[in-house]
Amino acid sequence: MKHSKKEKSPMASLRLAFVLLISLVSPTSSCTQQEKICLLRFLAGLSQDGGLAASWRDGEDCCEWEGVTCGTDRAVAGVSLASKSLEGNISESLGSLDGLKLLDLSHNSLSGCLPRGLVSSPSIVVLDVSFNRLSGALHELPSSTPPRPLQVLNISSNSFTGMFPSTIWESMENLIALNGSNNSFTGQIPTHFCNGSPSFAVLDLSYNKLRGSIPRGLGDCSVLRVLNAGYNNLSGTLPDELFRATSLEHLSFRNNELHGVLDGAHIINLGNLVTLNLGRNNFSGKLPDSIGQLKRMEELYFDRNNMSGDLPSALSNCTNLITVDFKSNKFSGELNKVDFSNFPNLTTLDLLYNNFTGTIPESIYSCSKLIALRLSANNLHGQLSPKIGDLKHLAFLSLAFNSFVNITNALHILQNCRQLTILLIGDNFMAELMPEDDIIDGFQNLQVLDIGGCQLLGNMPF
């Protein structure tokens, strides 16, 4: 089953290209007969036209047809038919529209292959066929193909198969953004995206079946801002050369088979990182102190690895953090080494399944925007602080499988967290007596309560 995402996926370059192209095309008074023929051939290949036939009538000016825009040279410059419930095949005839710059057929139910003539078009700048049912291989282009103007190619969320092409990009000197995510491509990630495309900024190949190592050549992408190859079968380590891509803002290799230790001397080169997602791999070793130099960091994922050691106090310098997910590792030590009061925007903190010791740091209760806090399955102890009631937005709290005490105090305090919908505190408070009814008078929004494994005594408060 295909993953429908949306990865908060930063395709700013794609959106910018659309805006620029829309500003370049404007309605005009006529189009050529040849352009009408090309468009009508496309229409004829559709089994469901979403009502286009009512607008696309031969004998009328195709510049007035639904979804069609023309430039000042009276040539068809844009075909925008996103979310029109179109079904059927994409006709090769669209590649014969000599002035076509923008083709958007996204979010339909189109099937069959992607015509080679669209990718190799001498005019198309933005091609978006994402969220359809296209299949088959993405064809290579002959080595003799002259440079193409294509800047944005979005083929994501289809059913493309076969080896991910490598030579096709050699003729794409103007390529800025490529999204091939959520398909079934195999093979390796090509190495030379940036050799011929100096402006290449966005690469998303997540949710495929790619194998092999991370290409060293990606480090040559001097303006690469987004690199996402999560949910594949990549192996090996992060190549040193990758850290030369100093413009990177979003880097994700989530859910692969990567390993190694995060090199502190290299990570500081990526000072523009906003998102770093290396979760669900086999990374080991400590989180380097230099992580604190990534001052722009907002999302940090190292979950489900084999990392160990204390959390460095330098993490406190990442003052823009919104999400921290370190669950299922071997981290240890006391959490109070990190000053959580430096994270005013933190909404999610997940430290499930580690070896942290000590008490919950008081500084966590300064994270006034915190929505989800999970500290389960560690070696924490003590009583809950009254300050946890300051977390007015807290909806999810999991403290299970620790050694917390005084359940009466805990429930009395937690009822001040009025937004709580899920409360998991099982396997704590061993053999304690449940509080009387008059102590508990909150939890109006609670939907899930887990107090299993506590061997509690007494009655359940009404």
Dump pLDDT digits (tens) for 57-70: 887 899 999 999 99
Q: What is the mean pLDDT of the chain?
A: 92
Dump pLDDT digits (tens) for 108-164: 999 999 999 999 999 999 999 999 999 999 988 887 888 899 999 999 999 999 999
Largest CA distance in the chain: 86
pLDDT at 9: 52
Dump pLDDT digits (tens) for 426-438: 999 999 999 876 6
Instruction: Quote the pTM value.
Output: 0.91
Q: Give yes or no for a contact between 247 and 270, defined as CB atoms under 8 angstroms apart.
A: no
* Short-list 47, 104, 48, CA closest to 79: 104
Block residue for tokens 């992580």: 291
Torsions phi, psi of 14, nearest 5?
Answer: -65, -50
Mapped onto helix, strand or coil, the DSSP state of residue 334 is strand
Q: Which domains does the chain have, with CATH numbers?
A: 1-189 (3.80.10.10)
The Cα–Cα gap between 110 and 131 comes to: 9
